[in-house]
Structure 1
Amino acid sequence: MSYENILLNKEDKISTITINRPESLNALNAQTIKELSDAFSELNADTSCRAIIITGSGEKSFVAGADIKEFIDFGKEEAEQLARNGQNSLFNKIENMNKPVIAAVNGFALGGGLELAMACHIRYASENAKLGLPEVTLGLIPGYGGTQRLPKLVGKGIANEMIFSAKMIPAQRAKEIGLVNEVYPIEELLTKTKELASIIAKNSPMAISKAINAVNLSDTDKGFETEIKHFGEVFELDDKKEGVSAFIEKRKPNF
């Protein structure tokens, strides 16, 4: 499949998606969201892909936000449909992928850009990154999951402060509050992200898939039961047999 606004590279079980709209600081417009959705569907079905990295082109911006020009004149029903379609087609899809998605936040991650990063399972950031949800300065609120995912990552108090004030925070502060996992110099960001992806790619893809599902339900009343169910299910899988055999035989597993 060919794309206009994103680049897709597959190498050694790791796929990298680069949002490639540098002229607009990689802002999310309808076409880009559609292309991202298609790319994630493609990778979800690709059994050779074990981990996914998403980043932005250049060194200034991961994603500077949604392309406001596309919905500035929307009414209530159109706006609701925009948010619902975005959630269902992309943001929820990323969160529920059957393999890990790592955001390499290389600069501004604002509005929909931060919401995109938060939908990913892990976030690494460059030292120059700035993160925030500025929607209230436009008389709007986050519509792609910002009010839901941010409190789960940083707690309700800090989430409220970020959303109500619309302040951008630097990468190091984002690490302090748990919004990103690690911070690196911009020139090291992709290398460090790929190193993590390579470690993940060596582990059981079936076990990771079930772990993603269980972790995603950790803040619901289904969390413990899902973990128990999946713990039992993996005992019937070839990956478990290979992993245990490799451990007993003192060799590395071949998943």
Structure 2
Amino acid sequence: MSDEQNPILCERHGAVGVLTINRPKTLNALNVPTLLALESALTALEKDASVRVIVITGAGDKAFVAGGDIADLNSRQGLQHYEEFAEVIHRVFRRFELCDKPTIGAINGWALGGGTELLLTLDLRLVAAEAKLGLPEINLGLFPGAGGTQRLIRQVPLCRAKELMFTGNQITAAEAVDLGLCNRSVAREMLMEESMKLAHQIAQKSPLTLKLLKRALRDGAEMPLGAALAHEQAIIGLVLDSQDAHEGCSAFLEKRAAQFTGK
């Protein structure tokens, strides 16, 4: 089946779900059908209780996502773009950001434009040493419009975010790690192995506690400190009502491995 007929591959490896953007002929560029397929695949993994961590990567060895489909963008006017593309990409990217399961980006190549914007929605990011990141929209007379302007300024220093968006310059994997956009750089041939190793490590933790931890972090980032601390206090109280919390403490005291069930 061609990549256009099957733009998203969805696989399960034990407790880890893997989503692969499968349009290598277009360097995994994002268009509406691809975004809708990505949303559908994410929904399936979210509903699958056996999946505890989600990894997302790109097909081929050149690109994670090289951006949006420029010809498609050029064919639209403002209101049409807003209604037919912008609403879809914003909704899908927000779905990744709000996902209760930990997400890991295996950034296997170019992550440009929408690729960097997608990366910004993921919890953890491992990047191939040869990869390049950037927001080159300014070179097309545009600016990042899939959440990039707002997410980037919340994740890196404002002056660095402005430089990336004003110049459209690409940065290397090492620069992305130094800037705090990625967790670490990995040799390309080891990228999926390292990403899956990290995913399986996280999948051993309590899925309920991970969900509530993600919510505490995500919600708290939007609150003043006092409110965020009160929110944390309430959330950890919920955690202590779970079987997993007491299983973890009992396992520690009994010097055995904990068996978390998500209850």
For normalisation by structure 1, the TM-score amounts to 0.95
Residue 245 of structure 2 corresponds to residue 240 of structure 1: yes
1:139 to 114, 128, 141: 141
Deviation at 1:249, TM superposition (A): 1.1
Q: Does 1:47 align with 2:52?
A: no
Q: Distance in 2 between matches of 1:123 and 1:4?
A: 25
Q: Secondary structure at the match of 2:257?
A: coil
Specify the alignment match of 2:200 in structure 1.
198
Aligned mate of 2:86, from 76, 83, 88: 83
Write the distance in 2 (CA, Å) between the matches of 1:128 and 1:243.
40
1:254 match:
259
Pairwise CA distance, 1:188: 0.5
Q: Provide closer, same or farther for how the CA distance between residues 71 and 195 of structure 1 changes in structure 2, counting only shifts above 3 A.
A: same
Structure 1 stretches of at least 4 aligned residues deviating more than 4 Å after TM superposition: none
Q: Report the number of matched residues.
A: 252
Aligned to 1:123: 125
Please give the alpha-carbon distance, in whole angstroms, between the structure 2 residues aligned to 1:5 and 1:242: 41
CA distance in 1, matches of 2:127, 2:222: 29
Tell me which amino acid in the other structure corresponds to 1:86.
I
Q: Name the CA distance, whole Å, in 2 between partners of 1:75 and 1:216.
A: 34
* Aligned residue runs from structure 1 range 133-172, under 5 A: 133-172=135-174
> Contact 2:110 / 2:133 at 8 angstroms: preserved in 1?
yes
Q: What are the Cα deviations for residues 43-101 of structure 1, in whole angstroms up to 9, with x where unaligned? A: 1111100101100011110000011222313222223333232112x111001111111
Structure 1: gaps spanning 5 or more residues: none
Deviations 1:154-195 (A, max 9, x none): 121110000010000000000001010010110001111111
Q: Is the 8 A contact 2:35 2:88 kept in 1?
A: no
The residue identity in structure 2 corresponding to 1:91 is F
Q: Counterpart in 1 of 2:229?
A: 224
Which letter does structure 2 place at the counterpart of 1:213? Answer: R
SS in 2 for 1:71: helix
CA-to-aligned-CA distance 1:115-171 (integer Å, 9 cap, x gap): 111111111000110000011111111111101111222121110000010000000
SS, match of residue 9 in structure 1: strand
Q: Is the 8 A contact 2:32 2:88 kept in 1?
A: no
Q: Distance in 1 between matches of 2:160 and 2:53?
A: 30
Q: Note the C-alpha offset of 1:217.
A: 2.2
Secondary structure of the residue that 1:28 maps to in structure 2? coil
- Whole-Å separation in 2 of the counterparts to 1:14 and 1:93: 18
Q: Tell me, which stretches of 5 or more residues in structure 2 are unaligned? A: none
Please identify, of 50-59 and 71-80, the stretch whose mean Cα deviation from structure 2 is larger.
71-80
Aligned to 1:124, the other structure's residue is in SS state strand
Amino acid of the residue matched to residue 254 of structure 1? Q
Tell me how far 1:225 sits from its aligned partner. 3.0
One-letter amino acid of the structure 1 residue matched with residue 139 of structure 2 = T
- Give distance in 1, aligned partners of 2:144 and 2:229: 30
Deviation at 1:242, TM superposition (A): 1.1
Whole-angstrom CA distance in 2 between matches of 1:229 and 1:31: 41
Alignment partner for residue 16 of structure 1, among 15, 18, 23? 18
- Output the TM-score relative to the length of structure 2: 0.93
Residue 213 of structure 1 corresponds to: 215
Q: Judge which range, 218-227 or 186-195, deviates more.
A: 218-227
Please report the RMSD computed on the Cα atoms of aligned residues, expressed in angstroms. Answer: 1.2
Partners in 2 of 1:84 and 1:30 — Cα distance? 10
Percent identity, aligned pairs only, is 39
Q: 2:104 corresponds to which residue?
A: 102
212-221 or 75-84, which deviates more? 75-84
Q: CA deviation at 1:209?
A: 0.5
What's 1:59 paired with? 61
Match of 1:29 among 25, 28, 31: 31
